[in-house]
Amino acid sequence: MTVIVLTNCPAGLRGFLTRWMLEISAGVFIGSPSARVRDILWEEIRTYSGQGRALLAHTTDNEQGFTFRTHDHAWHPTDHEGLTLLHRPSQPNAAPGVARAPGASGQPPKQGWSKAAKRRRFGG
């Protein structure tokens, strides 16, 4: 079984993948191509993804039962004692324009007029 996830890739690339795989949701493809076809598809994805990014996951004979590859992702696969895990970059080095969770910058959230702030301020 093979799963490919495309984000922000050209529509032509998505159309190309529908020749061998089924698009079950926008940018999510699933199928069972041979290993040779899967590798050729991955090279085509890397070549024609433009500004987009891609993730390929497929079954294999290892402890996890699957493996994956990434292209232009902020998260990178790393080997940790025989298991493949995703390494996330720390927040300060995150790409510009990426939304952060409130308080992720290390500063306390601003006091505002939310219902919780009103309760704290007025004791209600």
Q: What is the pLDDT of residues 23-68, one digit of tens each?
A: 999 999 999 999 999 999 999 999 999 899 999 999 999 889 999 8
Banded model confidence at residue 107, pLDDT cuts 50, 70, 90 = low
* Cβ atoms within 10 Å, residue 99: 7
CA-closest candidate to residue 21, choices 70, 54, 62: 54
Q: 96 vs 21, which has greater pLDDT?
A: 21
**In whole angstroms, what is the distance from residue 40 CA to residue 38 CA?**
5
Asked whether residue 123 carries a pLDDT value surpassing 60, the answer given is yes
pTM for the whole thing? 0.69
The number of helix segments (H) and strand segments (E) in the chain equals: 3, 7
| Residues facing 6 on adjacent strands | 54
Q: How many residues does the chain have?
A: 124
Contact 85, 91 (CB under 8 A): no
Distance from the first to the final alpha carbon of the chain = 56
